[in-house]
Structure 1
Amino acid sequence: MESRLIDVLQPIKDNDYTLPEGQNLQELTTMMLQKIGSVHPVLRDELIHMIFTTFIERGHYTNEQLKNILQSILNKNYLFYRIGMSKNEEDAVFKRSFSVLLIPPIMQKHRKSPFLKEEEIHRVWENLKKYMQQEKDHRGYVKEKGWAHAMAHAADAIYSVAACEEITKEEVLEMLPVIRQQFMIDQPYLFDEEERMVTAVLMMFRKIEHAERIEWLETLLYIRDSWQNPDEDIIINNSKHFMRAMYFRMIEGDYRELRQVLENLLRELRKQEAY
């Protein structure tokens, strides 16, 4: 079935993402959703993801169709597919990760011309928060299968929803500790996940007070429990990379005080390093 779907989708991409005459958009959408988590990197990333994104951006879908797509990807068969039962390095992450990556183009469409109700935006945010709390597969690029990149894709989705005026200060304050939890882990991030998440965090910072920004930044300072556990060195490294990414992004804009906070935190973090 995957090779047949490639045969259907490749000409669409090659023809500037034009839907062939006689091709039913709803049937095509169903087929793409069914294979959104394929381990075939060309089918999943270069065809299904790119066609979905381009079709959404170019207005091929009605608002009602976009709502239906959004509702589909937020359920247990997509965003939460096997999330609590996946074994390490199981392929289920691709379905979750590329489901979450459908949220940004839909949200961008909503921000340009609102069509989602306020409660629907809050529902997307709440599901993103639950997803962030539960995702345990932090692989970036997987040999022969391409990008999994769950945290980077989640970051893009968080940014896209946080940019909606419907998202409140309280919702941001609930999400920030979850982000901290996902980046202070004993698995190294190797593919600029922190850079993507910093973009989301800076968007969220627009909705909270200066003191609340500082309070959250201070949670990124990791205090080690032991000098004999190498896992803690990975956590410290993740913390350092996240704060450095934040610092250099803040060179542009009115962030002087926050940069000073980060400088102080990085000096303190240096004391936790093993060498």
Structure 2
Amino acid sequence: MPAATPCPPAAELAQRGDERARGEAILDMAQSERETLAIALLPCLGDPDPALRDGVTYTALSQMMRSQLIGSETLAAMKAELLGMLAAEDDPAGFARPFAALVLAEVARTDRVAPWMTPQERAGLIAAADAYLASLTDYRGFDEAEGWRHGVAHAADFLMQLSLNPEITRPQAEAILATVARKVGTPEHAYVFGESERLAAPVMYLARREIFSEADWEAWFSGLWPADDPLRENAYTSEAALTKLHNLRAFSQAIYVSAKASNEATYEPVARGAFALLNSLP
């Protein structure tokens, strides 16, 4: 349910009117006022009201970054605060961390469009995404009353923006793939809100870079459910194994369909890797 006392910066911005009116109001602000607003809005990413959290806060932050309305110093300050939110252990409502990941995707996009981060900072973003997914146990997606949480998908969007960055090195690309691998076949929760397709996106964009060989892709896909995993032994009499099977099938199908639909030779190695994984499933 919406909070009795909504996050003030988002509530004040909401009073400007609908999304178009709010966008025009942001454009009319002085640079310093916009940058102050961007920082002030960050705590509102945890507001339990989906209209304020998603419709006002995220939309406004995305507009400011995609329209290049805030400078690199403010972006750096936002990045630091968002990384703190992403790593926080205290998020009982489950909104702040997923939306911090989603806004970090927008921060990463700004660096892709006009580089301002160091290689170490990009590596730090990948490490933060990895730590978040490693600790994630809240798989809630959409709720009609509360809106989206969608931690896995939002983290996948974060990784997608990083995978699109031409400054990402091969070791960093390998780290992105290792992070994706953490959740594509989780036995803890069966995905039903498009998480598999979202996790497929950074893999597809890395494939387009052609920095991995066909053997690399074969090894990566085969490692998603190794032959010695005990869950394979009784896959159809174990809820955990069935969940893992469902998620891996959905992920590999998403990769295969996207690769084949593209009609591009670039994607053939991942298509073959995904198809081999499908054939290997119990």
Measured against the shorter chain, the TM-score band is 0.7 to 0.9
The equivalent residue for 2:121 is: 120
> Aligned pair in 2 of structure 1 residues 109, 218: CA closer, same or farther (>3 Å)?
same
Instruction: Give CA deviations for 1:240-259 in whole Å, capped at 9, x if unaligned.
Output: 00110010011112133543
Contact 1:81 1:95 (C-alpha < 8 Å) held by counterparts: no
Please state whether the residue corresponding to 1:111 is helix, strand or coil. Answer: helix
1:248-272 deviation line (CA, Å, top 9, x unaligned): 0111121335434433332331xx2
Q: 2:196 aligns with which of 171, 178, 194?
A: 194
Where 1:74 maps in the other structure, the secondary structure is helix
Q: TM-score, normalised by structure 1?
A: 0.86
- 2:228 is the counterpart of 1:216: no
1-structure distance, mates of 2:130, 2:61: 24
Q: Does 1:2 align with 2:6?
A: yes
Aligned length: 262
Residue 162 (structure 2) aligns with: 161
1:163 CA displacement? 1.9
How far apart in 2 are the matches of 1:198 and 1:58? 27
- Give the AA of the match of 1:31: A
Quote how far apart the aligned CAs of 1:112 are: 2.2
Aligned-pair distance for 1:104? 2.4
Q: Which runs of 5+ in 2 are unaligned?
A: none
Shift in CA distance, 6/157, structure 1 to aligned 2, threshold 3 Å: closer
| Structure 2 residue 135 is matched with structure 1 residue 134 | yes
Distance 1:21 1:263 in 2: 52
Coordinate RMSD, CA, aligned: 2.3
1:109 pairs with 2:99: no
> Which whole-Å CA distance do the structure 1 matches of 2:29 and 2:221 have between them?
53
For residue 58 of structure 2, the aligned residue among 49, 53, 56 is 49
Conservation of the 8 A alpha-carbon contact between 2:11 and 2:52: no
Which of the residues 78, 81, 87 maps onto 1:80? 87
| C-alpha displacement of 1:105 | 2.2
Once the two structures are TM-superposed, the CA of residue 193 in structure 1 deviates from its matched residue by: 0.8
Distance 1:3 1:66 in 2: 21
Stretches of 4+ moved more than 6 A in 1? none
Structure 2 SS opposite 1:137: coil
Question: What is the SS of the residue equivalent to 1:36?
Answer: helix
TM-score, normalization by structure 2:
0.84
1:268 equivalent in structure 2: 280
Q: Which amino acid aligns with 1:263?
A: F
Question: CA separation of 1:52/1:154 partners in 2, compared to 1, >3 Å: closer, same or farther?
Answer: same
Q: What's the offset of the Cα at 1:114? A: 1.7
